[in-house]
Structure 1
Amino acid sequence: MQHLGKRVDSRKPITFDVLKWLILILHRVCKSIYETKLFRAAFALAFFGFMRIGEITYVNKNADNHVLKISDNKFNDIDSEVFVTIMSSKTDQIGCSTTLILSSNDNDNELCVVKMLKDYLQLRPDSQGQLFCHLNHNKLTRFQFLAVLRSALNFIIWNPEEFNTHSFRIGAATTAALEGKTDEEIQTLGRWNSNSLKSYIRLSRLVN
């Protein structure tokens, strides 16, 4: 019997430049101001936080304990940083937790993860539970995240089949490599505990 080879993962990275395009046109594909701010914040955190999709959206009941809650993020006194605590994750099943410190972008206010999170939280319903939710309190799901991502890519006339939810994490690693960060630094930023990091740096798959 012929052994089937492992399928090659050819997803393109969502780099800083691609993210900027997505953020700028989200208002053209979202149905309300609230949804626009929701997806801007979710996309920005996915990239700048090197997030796994199960950490920012509802995937299934088994992964629900990994999703960020509203109580897992805090801003400093002058709102120049946000502290995001990941209580548990794919590589932290016992819940040792990791806190990310994300700083404001003074050079590009339109692509500042701190500002986008604040803008979203000012409109978010006053309730506990998952950080990213709709105005009716329903959780943001992976399916919805991917649907809006594909709509935005279509609007920019990029092939949505070449990207998926993991493209943000791939893009964050690729961007960090382009900026000259070492493998060890990128591994820490992305909370990788193995050599799988190498498969996330995709310089040959950059969008022109």
Structure 2
Amino acid sequence: METSAEATVEFLLLEKYCMRRRAASPPPEIAVFQGLFPAPRGRRLALQSRTSEAAVQGKRPRDVLEDVAEKITGIADSISISPKIASDGDDDSNDGDEDVIPRLVELLRQSGDQLDKEIKKNPDLARFLTNSFSYNLFATITNSFLQRVAPSRAPITQQAQIAMTFEVTRRLSALDLQPMNRVMGFGAQYLQQNFSSWVHQRGGWERAFQEDDHEVQ
């Protein structure tokens, strides 16, 4: 039986992260985001099962989510993801699918209104995102994004990769090309497939972000 991504801690964390970003700098493009509503009973049970230690310490599950989302936001803010400056020889007019991902990743390194404007200025790219968007495409975009953010001398840490996954999910979900919940679901799935073992080894989401080991080596 398929499990809804909205019942996972990863999905709830992505919601909380987007809420924090929206509160800090609300772009009009994501005005349709209705906020974080009280979770259904199934969500509460899923979250409670992963935050039992915090509950013992008197912390509510959503307090834990807030703490983790705040930490992830700080890590994302500490990483430079500005787009490269295009040279005179750069050509963004290529139409092949092999050229779409690098172009899209560079656009995603912009933010807010500028990202949305650039996407809308490129009808082929907007059509590609609308018609071909799938989890596999999301994973390919995110993988490429993480590779371009990482410096050549050393990879970024697991904390930083997670933070960048949150950020690329937020930026994709803010585009008016796909339902937000679908993009967030893909983000939650990507986090589960790529980082759940590391998070589990560290003792869960709260413990995984207790230490400041996100700095680029």
TM-score, length-normalised on structure 2?
Answer: 0.27
TM-score, length-normalised on structure 1?
Answer: 0.28
Greater share of residues in helix: 2
Greater share of residues in strand: 1
